[in-house]
Structure 1
Amino acid sequence: MADPRRDVAARMAWAARAWLDSLDTEQRKAATGPSPGADGVTEAERTRWYYTPTDHGGLTFHEQRPAQHRLVMQLLASGLSEAGYNTVATVLGLENVLDRVEGFSVNWGRERTRDPSMYYLRVFGEPGGLRPWGWRFGGHHVSLNNLVMDGQVVSSTPCFLGADPAASPLLGGDALRPLGKPEDLARELVRSLRSETAERAILLHRAPNDIAAGNSPRIDGHEVMRAELWRPGGHIPDRAEHPVTGLDRANQPALALTESPKGVPGAELDAGQRELLRTLLGTYLDRVPEGVSPLPRYDDPAAIDSVHLAWAGSTRPGEPHYYRLQGPRLLIEWTNVHRGVNHAHAVWRDPESDFGGDVLAAHHAAHHLP
């Protein structure tokens, strides 16, 4: 019987090898890293991730020929569903839209600030075989992190997508909204709650400026330490450029991530709301191919029961808002606050196995005993 995780891993390995074989010696230096779990320094770099337009580590499109660009996209396609791939490709193209929104005038001291070629790919270890290997692709509003071990995909998180602008006009009065469903479904769900349930789901009536966990490499214990959103030495824009929602220190504990989820559990939702919740989960978990996605886990009523919905900000369209879905092996965060509520962040994480950390630890315990 076919194993989808092995099939996807095989496609990833084939695509990664094809890309690596196309590179010259200098390109390979930026494009490759040591095997996952080799040492602490290696892991610190592999698990350092960003969603800002900074150096994500790896080889950029700028440093490659068009034929190599195609091989990069082929590797991305191997680790994404068709819808996931189309969404990622759209987010890359939004850099051109954002450039126009900003009047082609933003200058952070590099040749082009809003740049659809400033996306980085790095392969860790040797693709194929049973030894751990992985790959990371990232740039502005995209971070894909995959680990393969024993010939199967064992981790696809953190998986971050954003959109700026979140909505932009198309001909005929339509709008381009690559992350429209995660916003609309969540709002429909929270607005469907009974008043007393909604009071517990809505943690605050003001939204935070960003996702609570930021780009932290790990989510463990009762506190999350937000990592630096820009690689050291990279440009940090003037924070005055970004409006704030007025959230002060006194309100921060209400939104802090804790081991025990906040908000309302799926167990308290009616049948229609539970179906909405599962559909909403699919807009995140189905970014990756069928068979790799954990969405079927939520066919189990007990799994849906344990997913908590928490909201902050207004529930009216066009006003700043934030939500999270949290449960066992699940943290999803969404925010749309900036640029006149037209700038979305949407991340899917597995607190127990981001970057495959738990699987790697078990592997080393079993194979590298003193």
Structure 2
Amino acid sequence: MPTSRIPALSAGRRTRCQVMAASAVGLIGLGLVTACGSSSDTDASDGSSSGSVSATAGSGMPSGAMPSGSGMPSGAAPSGSGAPSGGGVGGGDTDCSDAGTPTAAASGAVPENDDADEVASVVKSANAFLDTLSSSEKSSVSNDYTDLATKECTWSNFPDGLFNGRNGLRMGDLTNAQVKAAKKVVETAMSSAGYTYVTEQLNADDQLSSGDDDTTYGQQNYHIAFYGDPSTDSAWSLQFGGHHLGIMVSIGGDTLSLSPYFKGTQPVSYTYEGKTVEAMGDLSDDFFSIFTSMDDDAQSAAELDGEYTDLVMGPQNDTGYPDTEGTAYGDLTTAEQKLVKSVIEGYVADYAGALSDPLVSLYESQLDDTYVAWATGLDTDDNAYLRIDGPRLWIEWVNTDNPGESGIHYHTIYRDKELDYGTGTGDSSSSSSSGS
């Protein structure tokens, strides 16, 4: 059968979806998941209670999904190792009841750019989408740009039904014309490769869906929201996401941010229109090759202590970056350094060039202070954890396993330690170097 990792597909796709063995962590109400977040009547672990998981009011996380503070199996990593340790399957440590600060990016955090034409194009698409909406729909899709807590707490890698805290308008509640206009906003903000990934992940989620009436899986369960009014002159944000996808683009005025960006997929391979699609196959190859190309001594030097079962800085874990560990970029071979750059571009360059190029240049200017690390394993078909950590750049990758048919799938994230959500999060632990 022909294989295509980036076919031309037509558009139709965390509080955390923890897919470690449920018996090890006591996934209450979920049992053993067969798709990220789905329950299995036949495989439910002993001691897990029945019932659906709903969003705790104001928390942005499923209620009862896991005992508080249990983001990983007990004893899976030594204390202080930097492995996931808080928030649990339902979310991280972000205080969703707090209005949050700051309300604008720190001085010097935004790299120099020439994005005016691209911003104007995204604004045009956003306003065209708004023109398709009723007054009540416009009210539902619109939010205050400075409401950081809502930005932080209304996205997740869980599907709808297991995370009920998403903001804005659901695709399944819109007309076909409105869905097309909503997707056009996302497409305009992204590069061709980036929007191809989005389309492939939407189609991947359809593989898990029982049909258009499914309120958990399928691209009908993705949401769009705006923060601030779409404008070239003042800051606003576009939020789009659902199961294994979280997009937050902040532009307008002096603002430029493309993070946080949750980039995942499940299943990792599926058949679409007679072709095998692997939405993140090339990126997986590059990221793992950084480490599998190393000799034993180099691999050992880059290895983190402990077992990592999910992302450290995933949904609602917006502050508290761990200490930098691993191998310095300058100690890598030329081939490995090239792979690091390719991985960075595999996230940031998913967005339109006028938006992404300044940020790619910034992160590459800081490569001498950037480190790579891994843990748990380096088999692309088994549990694994990979990381790139720079003064501003943060990228994580986790291969996480489902006991069901989907098996291994990907949770990954790109963050900017000073520019997430367009304003930054006020995290005192992040670097304040802009590289400019």
TM-score scaled by structure 1?
Answer: 0.76
Alignment of 1:44-193 (within 5 A): 44-48=149-153, 49-53=155-159, 54-55=163-164, 56-99=166-209, 104=210, 111-150=214-253, 153-169=255-271, 175-193=276-294
Could you tell me which of 339, 344, 361 is aligned with 2:410?
A: 344
Please say if 1:270 is aligned against 2:370. no
| Residue 270 (structure 1) shift | 1.8
Identity %, equivalent residues: 23
Structure-2 change in CA distance of 1:45 and 1:217 (3 Å): farther
Q: Could you tell me how far apart the structure 1 residues matched to 2:188 and 2:309 are?
A: 33
Q: Could you tell me how far apart the structure 1 residues matched to 2:328 and 2:113 are?
A: 32
Given that 1:157 and 1:349 are in contact with CA atoms closer than 8 Å, whether structure 2 keeps it comes out as yes
Which structure is higher in helix share? 1
| Residue 18 (structure 1) shift | 0.8
Please say if 1:328 is aligned against 2:391. yes
- CA deviation map 1:243-274 (0-9, x unaligned): xxxxxxxxxxxxxx51x311111010121211
1:254 corresponding residue in structure 2:
none
Q: Which amino acid aligns with 1:166?
A: V
Given that 1:31 and 1:123 are in contact with CA atoms closer than 8 Å, whether structure 2 keeps it comes out as yes
Given that 2:237 and 2:421 are in contact with CA atoms closer than 8 Å, whether structure 1 keeps it comes out as no
1:240 corresponding residue in structure 2:
none
Q: Could you tell me how far apart the structure 2 residues matched to 1:216 and 1:359 are?
A: 11
| Residue 112 (structure 1) shift | 3.4
| Residue 286 (structure 1) shift | 1.0
Secondary structure of the structure 1 residue equivalent to 2:264: strand
C-alpha RMSD of the superposition: 2.5
Q: Could you tell me how far apart the structure 1 residues matched to 2:123 and 2:113 are?
A: 15
Given that 1:27 and 1:63 are in contact with CA atoms closer than 8 Å, whether structure 2 keeps it comes out as no
Q: Could you tell me how far apart the structure 2 residues matched to 1:179 and 1:170 are?
A: 15
Secondary structure of the structure 1 residue equivalent to 2:238: strand
Q: Could you tell me how far apart the structure 2 residues matched to 1:308 and 1:79 are?
A: 29
| Residue 169 (structure 1) shift | 4.6
Could you tell me which of 285, 296, 300 is aligned with 2:348?
A: 285
| Residue 299 (structure 1) shift | 5.1
- CA deviation map 1:72-109 (0-9, x unaligned): 1110011111100010011111122123xxxx49xxxx
Given that 1:274 and 1:304 are in contact with CA atoms closer than 8 Å, whether structure 2 keeps it comes out as no
Given that 1:84 and 1:288 are in contact with CA atoms closer than 8 Å, whether structure 2 keeps it comes out as yes
- CA deviation map 1:126-184 (0-9, x unaligned): 2114222222111111111121231x551110011111111225687x63210112211
1:245 corresponding residue in structure 2:
none
2:116 corresponding residue in structure 1:
6
Secondary structure of the structure 1 residue equivalent to 2:325: coil
Please say if 1:297 is aligned against 2:346. no
Give unmatched runs, 5+ long, in structure 2: 1-111, 427-436
How many pairs align? Answer: 305
Q: Could you tell me how far apart the structure 1 residues matched to 2:397 and 2:192 are?
A: 22
TM-score scaled by structure 2?
Answer: 0.65
2:316 corresponding residue in structure 1:
216
| Residue 305 (structure 1) shift | 2.2
Q: Could you tell me how far apart the structure 2 residues matched to 1:290 and 1:205 are?
A: 38
Please say if 1:23 is aligned against 2:119. no
Secondary structure of the structure 2 residue equivalent to 1:283: helix
Quick check: 84-93 or 127-136, which moved more? 127-136
Given that 2:290 and 2:336 are in contact with CA atoms closer than 8 Å, whether structure 1 keeps it comes out as yes
Secondary structure of the structure 2 residue equivalent to 1:123: strand
Give unmatched runs, 5+ long, in structure 1: 224-256, 361-370
Secondary structure of the structure 2 residue equivalent to 1:339: coil
| Residue 359 (structure 1) shift | 10
Secondary structure of the structure 1 residue equivalent to 2:372: strand
1:357 corresponding residue in structure 2:
423
